[in-house]
Amino acid sequence: MAQDLQGLVHKVQLPAQDGVVRALVLTGFGINCEEEIAAAYRLAGAQATIVHLNQVLHGAVSIHDFDVLTFPGGFSFGDDLGSGVVLANKLRYRQTGPGGRTLLDDIKQFVADGKFVLGICNGFQVLVKLGLLPNLGGDVTPEVTLTHNASGRYEDRWVRLRVHPRTTTPFLKGLDVLEVPVRHGEGRLVVPDAATRGALEAAGLNCLSYIDAAGDGTSEYPHNPNGADLNCAGLTDPTGQVFGLMPHPEAFLSAFNHPDWARRRRQNPAASEEGAGLQIFKNIVEHIAQKHSVLAN
Amino acid sequence: MTLTDLEPTTHTIQLTLKPGQHDGDGHRVAAAAARHLGLATGRVRTAARYTVRYGALSPEQLRAFATRCLADPVLHDVTLNEAVAPVPGFAAYILVARGPGVTDDEGTSAQNALADFLNEPIDTRTQHIFSKRLYLLEHDLPTADLRRLAEELLGNKMINRFEVGRVADGIRDYTPRPGGGAEAITETISLNGLSDGALVQLSKDNIYALNLEEMCAVRDYYAAADTQAARRAQGLPADPTDCELEIIAQTWSEHCKHKEFSAVINYRDLATGEEKQIDSLFKTYIKDATSEVDRQLRANGNDWLIKVFSDNAGAVRINANSLFVWKVETHNSPSAIDPYGGAITGILGNNRDPLATGIGGARLLFNTNVLCFGNPDYDGPLLTGQLHPRRILEGVRKGIEDGGNKSGVPTVNGAIVFDDRYRGKPLVYCGTGAVMPMQFAGLDSWEKKIDAGDRIVMAGGRVGKDGIHGATFSSIELDESAPATAVQIGSPITQKLAMDFLLIAARRGLLKCSTDNGAGGLSSSVGELAGISGGAVVELEKVPLKYPGLRPWEIFVSESQERFTLVVEPGRMAELLALGQEMEVELTDIGHFTNDGSLDVNFDGQPVARLALEFLHDGVPRKTLEAEYEKPAATEPKIPTQTDYTGTLRLLLGALNICSRESVIRQYDHEVKGRTIVKPLMGATGQAPQDAAVVRFNFESWEGVAVSNGILPRYGDLDAYQMSAGSFDEAVRQIIAVGGKLPNLTPGDNIFWSVNDNFCVPDSVYDPAINPDGKQKLAKLVQMCEALRDATAAYCIPLTSGKDSMKNDFKADGVKISVPPTVLYSMTAKMEDVRRAITSDFKEAGDVIYLLGETYDELGGSEFYALHGELGALVPQVRFAEAKALYTLIGQANDGALIQSCHDLSDGGLAVALAEATFGYGCGASVELPESALPLATHLFSESHSRFVATVAPADVVAFEALLGGRATRLGLVTEDDQLTVRHAGQTVIEAPTTELRHTWSNGPVNQLLGVDELAGFGDSAGH
């Protein structure tokens, strides 16, 4: 485990431009999907480092030493004031450096540098509450929100997603339909007005939609597990560099995670043992590696 | 500026949903009030309220904090202080606040948010922000109805405070002010010269839960000349202090000491006249049986049994690098009075056992839970203090959800058993599996070593009055006077932080060892650890408190949650404390270990307790108990035979104990960590029930563990031995069904099995007045234990840990409700390659269906008889040798990949198993029952043990039949159409579309009660 070897309070010093894709996976304060996300990056060929949020806030680790910053799922601060609220509040207000600098300032710089941010489930909620998603206005102000499922309950169930044909995010390159589990109680996207809905749709920022058995976007439970506006399961910002989604692709790293794996393998014994969720991580690692090699040449 | 230095001013912040935003909580309250209480509330609007008691918060800061940190700009309108005004159109209100000292995680999170927002070091360890919930009701309900709604639907008067009334009269608020009153004083209590009656009364009044003999032993210890001399020499009073008596009571409690499992039992069988004396149930049937299993394992080169019965959890070796740690506990009494709090502290408390096994710092892999409730549709009278079974079910379910989900531990396996005898005290079994490296920083991880001079560090939460007397309280019958302090409230986030910290601290070599603070609090954790080094000194004034006003003894025995006791070498303290600060886990050095043979407790330099460890740990008098067995009279009923059992099958699929638990299962995260391979429900439909869970250990190898549970209380009404044997077999065969293999079949195969036993029985100590059938109950317990011994020997499967719960009775208004004697076996077994796991659902049309094992005339205690209101007599017997031979053959068949699906037969027998196996996708089955001497109904519904429905691909039929021989009976084929057809002697006896059967099963009473409804109305109110 990266965290165990890395130590907590020593600054991570990494050589630059060795072709390795470096993924930073945040943990602490109730985040709980860091291990499988780190595994996903490793399986995708990246170097994954799990770091406690305080290491970053206290300056022991700099996000700028990494290529992709990941906010995993979980229950940060117990979701007590609403999912992701307290963590987002910490990133926005907790001063980490001189002049009232906050981690959010660093993340803005990180994105401006052309790097990538991924938020899954609780991590997606954090990005939305921060205003990093969808960031239509470009000023990192909350424009939409995620709140209690229409069912009023937490649920773990597998759903099918369709990738928006107009999305440009490298995370979803080449993907059309994706099966993944949702595991949340507060995943209903609320878009406050028609103008915002129109803008999201026009730019294809609502990059993932819940679909029914026929493959159509749906508001019907349980195919749409939370009643999200636009049937939306995930968002990107206009650059495509910031991507967040409610479902858990990191829970489908192996074909044997799927509820129907046994029958599928009977029908197709030679099928890959990789889970379909891994492709998102392979996409971004490959994209960054390509960028690195372009820079190196 | 430090905000807390100043006299606090109280501010109120209220968040209300903006017009047009969907108020799901309000909808659900209105619907539940109508459905469960018959109250018409009209529309219900909810609001969140925060009372802020930090001084010197300017109006600008308050407004900015409320609008930027607490409110969601899309969802909420914010009102402050006197501007908090009612919403027009609502006549009545209910305000739900927490009682003094009750954990308020939401308030604490708000405090953390305020600290981040202000960038100032404010006190976040004690409560300054109090969260509340306000419900506004359209209709003007009378106060009595509002109170009922508050107490039965919105909260629990054991932990909540309610204000109700008319909105027009102004909304009254309530904010707790815990603490105050008691001073840090220690009193002495004289036992000298007290009569027997006075001793017993003293024990009862102070909830010591000690009997006369035990009280006499305490009195004699203090009266002894050497005790007196030692106390004089140390400046201690001659009489025991309150703290000392409390320590003894906690340590000697049934909960901690298992006095009845250690007792001498005189057993008589009234029918045969056989008499025997049992020298401790634990030693005879559990410990010695496991020693014998271990001997056989080691003789065969299987030396994976590492730690049994001697630590917080059992440990077995997975491979050269890691250990699997497994523990199952119960939390019955707390769940009876506060179902949510009882269950959440049950699962969080059980998590701490593997976390604090050996050195500590295991990584949690999964949780399990098995629950026993009364019928949620129970419509009989409720006794004083008794909660309705539906409330207990909903509260416990929610507690398990929050405890597991918020800790990031998947809940992978469980069961719910309904029987109205659980309506007084529910049974809440919580299990946790974990993985620990064999070594931490060069030391064996499973060892607990302590030397004099090592520091005692308390880690995690703070101490309050919550949970005082939990250990002794659970050791007595529950009655209407249950104390509020016995309720413990869990804080998953506090524990998650402590857990993350332990993992790192252990891997850095900062811990010498650790244990959890559970029953008995510090008195038990330090008391037990002191037994290793030979003594300890505790400075109680250093223990951080949630609020002032605790007496020293209260601090020492409080069971406030989320705390660990760490043992740390002095030279490691600085690094440990720095790590705690970095990870925001409160650590307090509260004393050190010694080797002088005593447990010393001081407060501000004054001794409040000093007890010889020898007396504390070994001074409890041994009990002698009487058991008498008389076989219950039972007869087989005459049930008219039918020619078509389709209707019977439908009734069974919709029966409370068979129907789908999907609504419960889906509210537990069963796949966080990404390692769950066989989940509770599988198949293309996601609705095919599985027999056992399979979880891989990590992402680098395919090794994993299968997890199952066996529990069959209703068979105990006929035969306690066969009930226990059957429960054990059920758990074994579930693991065989998913592709597990029995242990020790080949030398050095290293297939570990690790079993926890949890006996939950009614008071089984005979008393002519209050427990006249105690001897019979104890005899049943003896038989259950005998079956356990026989089962472990037969399968060579060891027990590694367990916990018994001996007083599962609820007494009030002169009535006693006792649980049926119940035992749960929670099993885990290594899977060498999880990719070879077998799921229960049929896979492909044309596959051949077999019945594996033999059906007997054993409908006694069956769900089929229950459907007819009968119990019967012929209870299923476990035939160990035949079962083991079959399980071995199935393992060989799986080695050859010959089996496509396998489902064990249990409640409802063959007919139900066949139907369930079609639930994975839209397939059917065409089955012809073989001719036999058994009546048709017995064929279909007998619950004979050690049987499976399995399917085999056509190409493998020859090899499979050659291997299984007479143990496999060919039944028919999986079909493309969605029809289940069962024929017998030329007649069709069951015929139904499998989608309909699945619908019946999925819409049974459990999902009806807890399922998603009211979604239809959602679109109307969404406002856009």
Whether B854 is in a domain gets the answer: yes
CA neighbours closer than 13 Å in the CB half-sphere of residue B589? 13
Name the active-site residue from B11, B76, B128, B331.
B331
Distance, CA of A219 to CA of A229 (rounded, Å): 8
SS3 B680: coil
Between B25, B835, B921, which is nearest A152 by CB? B25
Distance, CA of B462 to CA of B555 (rounded, Å): 10
Selection from B335, B131, B351, B313 nearest residue B803 by Cα? B313
Average pLDDT for B878-904:
98
Q: Is residue B332's pLDDT more than 80?
A: yes
**Chain B residue with the nearest C-alpha to that of A186:** B24
Q: Is residue B231's pLDDT more than 60?
A: yes
Region of poorest pLDDT, from B547-561, B585-599, B721-735? B547-561
- Is residue B139 among the annotated active site residues? no
Report whether B162 contacts B150 (CB < 8 A): yes
Average pLDDT for B701-712:
98
Interface A:B, Cβ pairs < 8 A: 221
Cα B825 versus chain centre, distance? 13
SS3 B326: strand
Q: Is residue B1020's pLDDT more than 60?
A: no
Distance, CA of B170 to CA of B150 (rounded, Å): 18
Could you report the predicted ipTM of this complex, rounded to two decimals?
0.95
Instruction: Give the model's confidence band at B789: pLDDT under 50 very low, under 70 low, under 90 confident, else very high.
Output: very high
Measuring CA to CA, how many Å separate A126 from each of A76, B363, B841? Answer: 9, 26, 39
Q: State residue A12's pLDDT score.
A: 44
**Chain A residue with the nearest C-alpha to that of B120:** A94
A8·B699 Cβ contact <8 A? no
Instruction: Give the model's confidence band at B205: pLDDT under 50 very low, under 70 low, under 90 confident, else very high.
Output: confident
β-bridge partners, B682 = B688
Report whether A85 contacts A130 (CB < 8 A): no
Residues of chain A contacting residue B835, judged by C-beta atoms under 8 Å apart = 256, 273
Number of domains in chain B: 2
Report whether B525 contacts B514 (CB < 8 A): no
Chain B contact for A74 (CB, 8 A cutoff): yes
A262·B837 Cβ contact <8 A? yes
SS3 A277: coil
Q: State residue B181's pLDDT score.
A: 55
Q: State residue A16's pLDDT score.
A: 47
Q: State residue B498's pLDDT score.
A: 94
Element (H, E) at B216: helix B212-223
Name the active-site residue from B11, B27, B76, B255.
B255
In the block, residue with structure tokens 């999925």: B1002
Between A86, A142, A263, which is nearest B920 by CB? A263
Region of poorest pLDDT, from A160-164, A279-283, B8-12, B667-671? B8-12
B504·A8 Cβ contact <8 A? yes
Average pLDDT for B94-115:
91
Count of beta carbons in the 10 Å neighbourhood of residue A193: 12
B22·A150 Cβ contact <8 A? yes
Residues of chain B with pLDDT > 90, as a percent, come to: 81
Distance, CA of B517 to CA of B247 (rounded, Å): 14
Distance, CA of A170 to CA of B106 (rounded, Å): 38
The two three-digit tokens of residue B871, written as one number = 């119990």
Instruction: Give the model's confidence band at B83: pLDDT under 50 very low, under 70 low, under 90 confident, else very high.
Output: low
What confidence tens digit (pLDDT) does each residue in B943-994 have? 999 999 999 999 999 999 999 999 999 999 999 999 999 999 999 999 999 9
Instruction: Give the model's confidence band at B36: pLDDT under 50 very low, under 70 low, under 90 confident, else very high.
Output: confident
Task: Looking at B738-806, list the stretches that DSSP marks H as alpha helix, in order from N- to C-terminal side.
Answer: 774-795
Q: State residue A244's pLDDT score.
A: 98
User: What is the amino acid identity at position A173?
Assistant: K
Which A-chain residues 3-32 have CB contacts (< 8 A) with chain B?
3-4, 7-9, 27-30, 32
Measuring CA to CA, how many Å separate B898 from each of A262, B331, B705, B964? Answer: 14, 42, 21, 11
A85·B835 Cβ contact <8 A? no
B27·A152 Cβ contact <8 A? yes
Tell me A31's DSSP state. Answer: B
Residues of chain A contacting residue B843, judged by C-beta atoms under 8 Å apart = 262-263, 266
Q: Phi then psi for B608, rounded to 5 degrees?
A: -115, -15
Q: Which of B169, B195, B225 is the last residue of a domain?
A: B169
Fold of A2-8+22-296: Rossmann fold (3.40.50)
What confidence tens digit (pLDDT) does each residue in B742-765 have? 999 999 999 999 999 999 999 999
The two three-digit tokens of residue B473, written as one number = 């309280």
A150·B24 Cβ contact <8 A? yes
Q: Minimal Cα–Cα distance from A11 to chain B, Å?
A: 14
The two three-digit tokens of residue B653, written as one number = 């699929």
E strands within A143-294?
Answer: 145-147, 155-163, 177-184, 188-190, 208-211, 232-236, 242-245
- Is residue B128 among the annotated active site residues? no
Distance, CA of A98 to CA of B683 (rounded, Å): 56
Q: Classify residue A217 as exposed, middle or buried by CB count within 10 Å of its CB (0-12, 13-18, 19+).
A: middle
Contact residues for B172 (Cβ-Cβ < 8 A; gap 6+): B95, B163, B165
Q: Is residue B507's pLDDT more than 50?
A: yes
Among B409, B436, B699, B703, the residue to mutate for chain A (most A Cβ within 10 A): B699
Q: Minimal Cα–Cα distance from B504 to chain A, Å?
A: 6
Instruction: Give the model's confidence band at B1018: pLDDT under 50 very low, under 70 low, under 90 confident, else very high.
Output: very low
Residues of chain B contacting residue A269, judged by C-beta atoms under 8 Å apart = none
Residues of chain A contacting residue B668, judged by C-beta atoms under 8 Å apart = 156
Average pLDDT for B43-66:
92
SS3 B702: coil
The parent domain of residue B717 ranges over 655-670+679-756+772-804+823-998
In the block, residue with structure tokens 């493309």: B976
A142·B74 Cβ contact <8 A? yes
Q: Minimal Cα–Cα distance from B296 to chain A, Å?
A: 35
Q: Minimal Cα–Cα distance from B70 to chain A, Å?
A: 7
Report whether A1 contacts A35 (CB < 8 A): yes
Q: Is residue B487's pLDDT more than 80?
A: no
Q: Is residue A167's pLDDT more than 90?
A: yes
Average pLDDT for A156-169:
96
Q: Is residue B635's pLDDT more than 80?
A: yes
Task: Work out the mean pLDDT of chain B and round it to a whole number.
Answer: 92
Residues of chain B contacting residue A194, judged by C-beta atoms under 8 Å apart = 1024
Among B65, B67, B74, the residue to mutate for chain A (most A Cβ within 10 A): B74
Q: Minimal Cα–Cα distance from B843 to chain A, Å?
A: 5
Whether B848 is in a domain gets the answer: yes
A153·B108 Cβ contact <8 A? no
A90·B674 Cβ contact <8 A? no
Whether B943 is in a domain gets the answer: yes
Q: What angle do CA A260, B1006, B716 make, to 5 degrees?
A: 100
Q: State residue B520's pLDDT score.
A: 87
Between B106, B406, B508, which is nearest A30 by CB? B406
Report whether B818 contacts B808 (CB < 8 A): yes
Report whether B828 contacts B891 (CB < 8 A): no
Average pLDDT for B595-603:
95
Q: Phi then psi for B975, rounded to 5 degrees?
A: -120, 160
Count the residues in chain B: 1024
Report whether B853 contacts B947 (CB < 8 A): yes
Selection from A283, A33, A22, A32 nearest residue A178 by Cα? A283
**Chain B residue with the nearest C-alpha to that of A153:** B667
Instruction: Give the model's confidence band at A7: pLDDT under 50 very low, under 70 low, under 90 confident, else very high.
Output: very low
The dihedral built from the CA positions of residue B631, B633, B636 and B639, taken in this order, carries a sign that is negative
The two three-digit tokens of residue A154, written as one number = 């937490």
Instruction: Give the model's confidence band at B482: pLDDT under 50 very low, under 70 low, under 90 confident, else very high.
Output: low
Spatial strand order of the sheet with B275-279 comes to: B275-279, B264-269, B624-629
Q: Is residue B85's pLDDT more than 80?
A: no
Residues of chain B contacting residue A25, judged by C-beta atoms under 8 Å apart = none
Per-domain residue ranges of chain A: 2-8+22-296
Distance, CA of B540 to CA of B528 (rounded, Å): 17
A145·B73 Cβ contact <8 A? yes
Q: Is residue A9's pLDDT more than 50?
A: no
Among B405, B562, B577, B1013, the residue to mutate for chain A (most A Cβ within 10 A): B405
Whether B258 is in a domain gets the answer: no
Q: Is B250 left (phi over 0), alpha (psi -120 to 50) or beta?
A: alpha
Region of poorest pLDDT, from A11-20, A60-69, B53-62, B224-233? A11-20
Q: State residue A10's pLDDT score.
A: 39
Report whether B528 contacts B252 (CB < 8 A): no
Q: Phi then psi for B323, rounded to 5 degrees?
A: -115, 150
Q: Is residue B192's pLDDT more than 90?
A: no
Selection from B394, B393, B405 nearest residue B348 by Cα? B405
Between A39, A86, A254, which is nearest B109 by CB? A86
B582·A9 Cβ contact <8 A? yes
Q: State residue B837's pLDDT score.
A: 98
Distance, CA of A145 to CA of A155 (rounded, Å): 19
| DSSP secondary structure, A197-231, as one string | HHHHHHHT---EEEE-TTS-B---TTTSSS--GGG
Q: State residue B675's pLDDT score.
A: 97
Task: Looking at B668-806, list the stretches that DSSP marks H as alpha helix, in order from N- to C-terminal side.
Answer: 720-737, 774-795
The two three-digit tokens of residue B356, written as one number = 């604090």
Region of poorest pLDDT, from A166-180, B286-300, B481-495, B672-686? B481-495
Q: Is residue B480's pLDDT more than 60?
A: no
Which A-chain residues 145-204 have CB contacts (< 8 A) with chain B?
145, 147-158, 181, 183, 190, 192-194
Between A42, A55, A90, which is nearest B116 by CB? A90
Distance, CA of B76 to CA of B327 (rounded, Å): 44
What confidence tens digit (pLDDT) does each residue in A227-270 have? 999 999 999 999 999 999 999 999 999 999 999 999 999 999 99
Which A-chain residues 216-255 have CB contacts (< 8 A) with chain B?
219, 221-222, 227, 229, 248, 250-254
A158·B838 Cβ contact <8 A? no
Would strands A95-97 and A101-102 be described as parallel, antiparallel, or unpaired?
A: antiparallel
Q: State residue B103's pLDDT score.
A: 83
Q: Is residue A66's pLDDT more than 60?
A: yes
What confidence tens digit (pLDDT) does each residue in B900-950 have? 999 999 999 999 999 999 999 989 999 999 988 999 999 999 999 999 999
The two three-digit tokens of residue B793, written as one number = 């020997």
Distance, CA of A211 to CA of A224 (rounded, Å): 7
Among B78, B582, B847, the residue to mutate for chain A (most A Cβ within 10 A): B582
Average pLDDT for B51-73:
91
Chain B contact for A58 (CB, 8 A cutoff): yes
CATH number of the domain within which B148 lies: 3.30.1280.10
Q: State residue B1022's pLDDT score.
A: 32
Contact residues for A52 (Cβ-Cβ < 8 A; gap 6+): A3, A8, A26, A27, A28, B500, B582, B583
Q: Minimal Cα–Cα distance from B249 to chain A, Å?
A: 35
Between A129, A153, A256, which is nearest B835 by CB? A256
CATH number of the domain within which B844 lies: 3.90.650.10
Residues of chain A contacting residue B679, judged by C-beta atoms under 8 Å apart = 259
A89·B21 Cβ contact <8 A? no
Residues of chain B contacting residue A54, judged by C-beta atoms under 8 Å apart = 582-584
Report whether A256 contacts B671 (CB < 8 A): no
Report whether B970 contacts B850 (CB < 8 A): yes
Distance, CA of B198 to CA of A120 (rounded, Å): 63
Average pLDDT for B819-843:
98
